[in-house]
Amino acid sequence: FRFSRRPDLGDSIRVSFEFFPPKTDEMEARLWETVTRLKPLHPDFVSVTYGAGGSTRERTARTVARILHQTHLAPAAHLTCIDASRDEVDAVIRQFAELGVKRFVALRGDPASGVGTGYQPHPQGYANGAEMVAALRRQGDFDISVSAYPEKHPESPDFATDIDMLKRKVDNGATRAITQFFFDNDIYERYVERVRRAGIYIPIVPGILPVHNIVQVANFSARAGAHVPAWLRERFDGLEADPQTHALVAAAVAAEQVQDLIERGVGDFHFYTMNRADLAYAVCHMIGIRPRPNEGASAKSAAA
């Protein structure tokens, strides 16, 4: 059985968790339960997304500020340039820097109408992720993550164009790339080989999406530039009305994916949590990432 406990792993593996800014008080309470549950796992950082078209600017800032002020966690603020002038983006960077934010995820973003609906740069704006990295670098000595697409971005004509954009981001000062989620580790490995051949040496951190809802994942994956393999759908077949078994299968699938990546030499993982702790927590537990003994987090203490 491949998931026998590997207590040695926890020390050499680093994880980060991604959240989205909550819209309502109820969602805020749920996010905070999630943060409380995950924080004893000592993630390298936690990131907070920026809504389509910059629509969550204030909520992203509030969430990042709360993480900074109420936890020991290092927050990374996502930032997009879509629908914003350079002056507006620069002002948001200053606002985050004044809050004490030292990490960013620099992105282009998608039109509010959705991916692939015709991206147009703002006439006075930054045009893409690479220009966003340069804008951040001009303003401070930040840790800057960028996106990477193992199955290529849906708008990229080919892999060469896609990897060229990643190279521009690195040349402008990106320190790490986080991938779009994927389920087939061979695709990730081939992508990393291509990236290295292009002379890019920053960490390409796999983005892991524990499957909270297979139907939703299948619906948005094509737009996100990721495919859901038939074998994965098949594992969840018939579980639409059985959330408990769905969750157990999802934890097993994500743990299997992460374990396999570890065996291929990967040491950093970024979890798309969807603001829910359980699946990410379970996977971390299985790879040896656990609260320190005196921190003893449990589902109970998280709820307290």
**Residues labelled catalytic:** 18
Q: Considering the complex, state which of residue 164 and residue 278 has its C-beta at the smaller distance from ligand FAD.
A: 164
Q: Considering the complex, state which of residue 165 and residue 214 has its C-beta at the smaller distance from ligand FAD.
A: 165
Distance separating alpha carbons of residues 203 and 168, to the nearest angstrom: 15
| 147 binds ligand FAD, rule: CB under 6 A | yes
| 31 binds ligand FAD, rule: CB under 6 A | no
Q: Considering the complex, state which of residue 209 and residue 297 has its C-beta at the smaller distance from ligand FAD.
A: 209
| Nearest distance, CB of residue 52 and ligand FAD, angstroms | 5
| 50 binds ligand FAD, rule: CB under 6 A | yes
Residues 157-186 that bind ligand FAD (CB under 6 A): 161-162, 165, 178, 180
Phi and psi at 168, nearest 5°, equal -65, -35
DSSP-H helix ranges across 84-241: 86-99, 129-139, 159-171, 185-197, 214-224, 230-236
Report whether 76 contacts 143 (CB < 8 A). Answer: yes
Of positions 108, 176, 276, 290, contacts ligand FAD by CB under 6 A: 108
Strand, coil or helix: what is 44? coil
Which of 44, 27, 4, 14 lies closest to 274 in space, CA to CA? 27
Report whether 225 contacts 154 (CB < 8 A). Answer: yes
| 35 binds ligand FAD, rule: CB under 6 A | no
Residues found near ligand FAD in the complex (CB under 6 A): 49-50, 52, 78, 80, 105, 107-110, 115, 128-129, 147, 153, 155-156, 161-162, 165, 178, 180, 207
